[in-house]
Chains A and B, each alone.
Chain A
């Protein structure tokens, strides 16, 4: 028996805002949150810019909490608390409450800081919390503990599609009857010289250091790579039955997901977009929708030269002529790329677009790349149609992961 899954709460902390509403205001205004990294190490790096959290978790959480949590875990906890409150702090049997929170990389800044201590002061000075700070399931575990989740705590890892995969996994837990409520999303906080050097070595990062706000520019002819971001997005997914019984406000409906793999290259997208197109088609099939039902796409659109074209190809391959009327936005133009958090925050933006019937702009899109055959290029928010609509969120990850998630209006 398959059960209907709805969204009853959302929370987030990103480079453009410390909560959902401040995020949405910035995203609709097309206001990027990218800055030069204010650290001495940055001088030797080709990419010196990133999307740093707008609100530092250290100003929100207690010191005894932050000293035992990686920054990705801190972000997840802050976003989860907002989402939980937004859902009305639901009464739920702990054995029917699950947590699925993804990360792309895990607690790498804690790992590196601990390694520095190891080299400088020796093994006896390593924190007893180091292991639980670096484990990729840490954000899911921390949030699970906070709310007493006992139906299962899970962490899908698929690089930059991890957050979207977590939402799909969470929905499955509810559909299959394992849980009534699942706290789902993704978190990442991996801005560190080692990751910046690694991604730069792949020539994946923008080096537009002299104009950080304009650096992330999906679909623009002058895009030169993605910009690292950090933060977390959390959704409260709930069976419709449970949500109705407690009188919860329903913010959107989870409609379906498609998960495929390219089988093409470890880090480059399939230029034909075949795997990504299949993911979109599977999501439509599960949702029982047709391409014409999709009013808006929050695209993966990282601002890399190849990736944006491959995704545009995939969208057209999956949606056909309906592509012409689907309004596409790339919000990484403002947040940067949150890696394992991306699919989660962009699902939230998709749901907000449906709520307000306003889709956000793609910032910095001055001259569209002629190879991008999509309905993008607007400067401000675009009105979405009234009535029943659906929105699609795409997420792809190194390793050849393709994840498409669809939400429907209430």
Chain B
């Protein structure tokens, strides 16, 4: 699974959860500060990512996923 594939999958999830246009969801964007994904919506993003890629993202790790790139890297490494 390529980084591009994870990014595009994650962009669809963030779009559905937070309504951010898919083309604005890029690696350097911060979930909270740039994409207006609040802590509750971040839980939704994590749950959807877990379901999509069969990964387990514990809360302790999820809180370190500040940027979209952080999440893509984590999912690539753990799925």
Interface residues of A in 48-92 (CB under 8 A from B): 62-65, 67-68
Stretch at the interface among A123-131, A209-217, A344-352, A391-399: A123-131
CB-CB under 8 A from A127, the residues of chain B are 44, 47
Q: Name the residue of chain A whose CB is nearest to the CB of B47.
A: A125
Contact in complex: B16, A64 (CB < 8 Å): yes
CB-CB under 8 A from B15, the residues of chain A are 64
Count of chain B residues with a beta carbon within 8 Å of a chain A beta carbon = 10
CB-CB under 8 A from A129, the residues of chain B are 40, 44
Chain A: interface secondary structure? loop
Q: Say which size band chain A's interface belongs to.
A: 10 to 19
User: Residue among A65, A67, A125 with the most chain B CB within 10 A?
Assistant: A67
Number of A-B residue pairs with CB-CB distance less than 8 Å in the complex they form: 24
CB-CB under 8 A from B40, the residues of chain A are 68, 128-129
In the complex, what's the smallest C-beta–C-beta distance from A63 to chain B, in angstroms?
6
CB-CB under 8 A from A124, the residues of chain B are 47
Rounded to whole angstroms, the CA-CA distance of A125 and B44 in the bound complex is 9
**Per-position contact with A for B33-68: 1 when CB-CB < 8 Å, else 0?**
000000011011001000000000000000000000
Q: Name the residue of chain B whose CB is nearest to the CB of A63.
A: B16
Contact in complex: A128, B19 (CB < 8 Å): no
Rounded to whole angstroms, the CA-CA distance of A48 and B40 in the bound complex is 37
CB-CB under 8 A from A125, the residues of chain B are 47
CB-CB under 8 A from A65, the residues of chain B are 19
Interface residues of B in 6-45 (CB under 8 A from A): 15-19, 40-41, 43-44
- The interface of chain B, by Cβ under 8 A from chain A, is 15-19, 40-41, 43-44, 47
For this complex, 23 residue pairs linking A to B, each with C-beta atoms less than 8 Å apart, are: A62-B19, A63-B16, A63-B19, A64-B15, A64-B16, A64-B17, A64-B18, A64-B19, A65-B19, A67-B16, A67-B17, A67-B44, A68-B40, A68-B41, A124-B47, A127-B44, A127-B47, A128-B40, A128-B41, A128-B43, A128-B44, A129-B40, A129-B44
